[in-house]
Amino acid sequence: MKTPKKLTNRLQSRKDNNALRSLTLPSTLVDFSSNDYLGFAQSETIFKETHQYLINHNFNQNGATGSRLLSGNYYLYNDVEKFLSDFHQTTSATIFNSGYDANVGFFSSVPQRGDFILYDAYSHASIRDGIQLSNAKAFKFLHNDLEDLEKMLKRLRPLDCAQGDKDIQSNKEMLNQVQHNNAEIYVVTESVFSMDGDSPDLVAISKICKKYNAFLIVDEAHAIGVFGAGLVQKLNLQNDVFARIITFGKAMGCHGAAILGSKSLQNYLVNFARSFIYTTGLPPHSIATIKMAYQQLRLCSSEFEKNEQICIENPQNQLQKNIHHFIKEVKRLQLNFIPSCSAIHCCIIPENSTVKLISEKLHQNGFDVKAILSPTVPKGKERLRFCLHSYNSTEEISEVLEFLSIFVNN
């Protein structure tokens, strides 16, 4: 069968830019690339406990059999959603089939025509795809730049919040204000950015949102597990955030996602989020794995929080130790990394061909570190992305960074 010319042209242009993607199989190299931050995806305990749980509770069905609104809902879904809402100190948790589905479902359905979405310029593709499907107007603010965010909010709600700020109270602005009187404003950010590993000042963002009467949404995909129940809870902001997106495919080591928020938000999503409605639900095995992974996380987190001198094998403790060691080594070797306290650390190496070459050299030396190419990141911001895990050793970290230091300096 012939391939349409436009498709071959696009593929060729990817090749010409050194940016053609292809699928590879898992390697036996030292893992600095997966999102399995706590090793839960490989946990025999979680695997066995899930199996036993399904047997004990007579879940002998392989598939959900339909959309959750038709035949695909079952009691384990409700049980795990209740567990998640308690664990995350909120009133509802709505499970979606993936984080991608959750973001697309939320942003395509919640903001309405006439509303505004202000999103961080580095927001994940799933957030941006959801926004594209929305009828609301969307504007991006500079990455983690609260001044830029506030400038936009001021423009959208000039009189509410800026009394005394004479220069913005022009006729035009007043007109805008009237126009936007009924408009809701949604502000979206990530607690850990997937391509940079950095975090916004969530306390300050939530204050700004309160001041301008905007709804805050935080995607916690890369914070869950790495920072216990996530950064929103760590900062005690759960009551100041309208919705949190949590995903289970990263530190939780399984699959799926949930949107945390109010009961009425849940009711709305079940009625209007098309990526929730028009798809088959997850099989019982997936939902049971989420439950077992969370039980494991609860165990680690309570150990972690109770005592600094905890069991050396606690994966949260191991991960934190590795993050500290990585940061210390980056400083010692004077490498150019984006500042980060999370499990994601990125070294900017401009040009697809250069970053690819260094990633290949690290591969040849036994380390799986992925090159993130443009157009996934802006041109000139190509990078090596290191994902750190509880199961990396400090020796592996020192070794891979020593190699990197040699390769970038040659």
Ligand X SMILES: Cc1ncc(COP(=O)(O)O)c(C=O)c1O
Q: How far is the CB of 247 from ligand X (least distance, A)?
A: 4
Comparison of 26 and 164: residue with beta carbon closer to ligand X: 26
Neighbour-count burial for 128-143, b at 16+ CB within 10 Å, e otherwise:
bebbeebebbbebbee
Distance of CA 128 to the CA centre of its chain: 13
Q: Judged by CB, which is closer to ligand X: 297, or 404?
A: 297
Q: Nearer to ligand X by C-beta: 247 or 318?
A: 247
Q: Nearer to ligand X by C-beta: 76 or 257?
A: 257
Q: Which residues bind ligand X (CB under 6 A)?
A: 98-100, 103, 124, 126, 190, 194, 219, 221-222, 247, 249, 257
Angle between helices 146-156 and 202-211 in degrees, nearest 10: 10
Q: How far is the CB of 47 from ligand X (least distance, A)?
A: 19
CB-CB contact of 397 with 329 (8 Å): yes
Nearest of 244, 247, 191, 189 to residue 221 by alpha carbon: 247
CA torsion sign for 307, 308, 313, 318 is positive
Least Å distance, CB 311 to ligand X, is: 30
Residue 74 in contact with residue 97, Cβ under 8 Å?
no
Of 59 and 107, nearer to ligand X (C-beta) is 107
Query: What is each CA distance from 136 to 164, 265, 331, 372, in whole angstroms?
Result: 30, 18, 44, 31
Contact 326, 388 (CB under 8 A): yes
Q: What is the DSSP letter of 42?
A: G
Q: Where are the beta strands (DSSP E) in 70-226?
A: 92-96, 116-120, 137-141, 185-190, 215-219
The CB-of-89 to ligand X minimum distance in angstroms stands at 21
Give least dist CB 162 to ligand X, A. 32
CB of 16 to ligand X, least distance (A): 27
Give the nearer residue to ligand X in terms of CB position, either 155 or 381.
Answer: 381
The total of other beta-carbon atoms located within 10 Å of residue 289's CB is 28
Q: Which residue is nearest to ligand X (CB)?
A: 99
CB of 399 to ligand X, least distance (A): 27
Question: Six-digit token pair at 249?
Answer: 């495919």
Pick 109 or 126: Cβ nearer ligand X: 126
d(CA 385, CA 152): 31
249 vs 366 by CB, closer to ligand X: 249
Nearest-approach distance from CB 220 to ligand X, in angstroms = 8
